[in-house]
Structure 1
């Protein structure tokens, strides 16, 4: 739901499911939820909308203090 009107983000998994299930997949979007809500129902969004693909990389960075305090030390 959006307070106004804006972009809607789908996860990679949601988009893959939309591709896989085709006409059996629906996207429900509520615009103007704060004032006059409008429900938009899109059947088979993989065919009926044109998404912008944004590639983002997720990394997990562990600080050396965390490693030194949690790790078991072995001499090599």
Structure 2
């Protein structure tokens, strides 16, 4: 398996998609582990449509500061 770069919100969706049917005890344990990972990610601010990576956050701050400067002129 070759490593690939993926945005964190896409990784969240991929992990979320790993959950499946709960037919046996092994499946239930697997799904519980997936739910635990998703819960940890959500507690850190991840989720579909919610997470903004650091670079984007900084870009938004710069744009906001630029607009404030333009409005002050």
Return the TM-score normalized by structure 1.
0.26
- Greater radius of gyration (CA): 1
- Structure possessing the higher relative contact order (Cα contacts under 8 Å, 6 or more residues apart): 2
Q: When you count strand as a share of all residues, which structure comes out higher?
A: 1
Return the TM-score normalized by structure 2.
0.27
Q: When you count helix as a share of all residues, which structure comes out higher?
A: 2
